[in-house]
Structure 1
């Protein structure tokens, strides 16, 4: 199912970092239209979140380090903003509306 300009329809589940072309294979949060390169970039963001999350998990045994001083958490926060920015830019109207309703868009606009 092709879309103009080499874009294809994908379904994205943010919590587990899943990107699929099949809307019925698992639950999804957002529908986007993206090129192969854009999907690759989105996958890289999800990989960065996963990697930073594991670093944070191991670091969690350092109780005196507060969240706002933790580089791994900062990396996850910044990458999450990039993920939602991409989803907002590539998403359908429902995706855009949901991101706006969740208040995520103000963070995205701050980062633009």
Structure 2
């Protein structure tokens, strides 16, 4: 399959073929199937985020005993690892130089 260039913003969970605004933080080369997998992983992060929002309103559950936060952290780490695997050489270099735990 043919790989295309995509621009990804983790914070907004945006995946675009058009660079604009602040969506150029991560530039990747991916097939349609890989983009579908990345979108599915972003959807999991979004669902996990909602779970952490609900959990935040339960004061007696501490963070270190919170499975919702653990799931969020795990899924977000998987997104970052996937981005690294698909990253252009320039993006990989920037990720290597950053404080991201890949």
* TM-score between both structures, scaled by the size of structure 1: 0.83
RMSD: 1.3
- Tell me how far apart the structure 2 counterparts of residues 49 and 63 of structure 1 sit (CA, whole Å): 22
Q: Quick check: 1:33–1:90 contact (8 Å CA) kept in 2?
A: yes
1:23-47 CA distances to partner (integer Å, 9 max, x unpaired)?
12x3211000000010011111111
Q: 1:64 to 1:83 in 2, by over 3 A?
A: same
Alignment of 1:4-19 (within 5 A): 5-19=1-15
1:53-110 CA distances to partner (integer Å, 9 max, x unpaired)?
1111011111222222111111111111111111111111222122222232xx43xx
The residue matched to 1:42 in structure 2 has which SS?
A: helix
The unaligned stretches of length 5 or more in structure 2 are: none
Match of 1:91 in 2: 87
Structure 1 runs of 4+ aligned residues shifted over 4 Å read none
- Tell me how far apart the structure 2 counterparts of residues 98 and 64 of structure 1 sit (CA, whole Å): 40
Deviation, 1:6, is: 0.7
The unaligned stretches of length 5 or more in structure 1 are: none
- Tell me how far apart the structure 1 counterparts of residues 98 and 68 of structure 2 sit (CA, whole Å): 24
Equivalent residues, number: 101
Q: Which has the higher helix share?
A: 1
Match of 1:27 in 2: 22
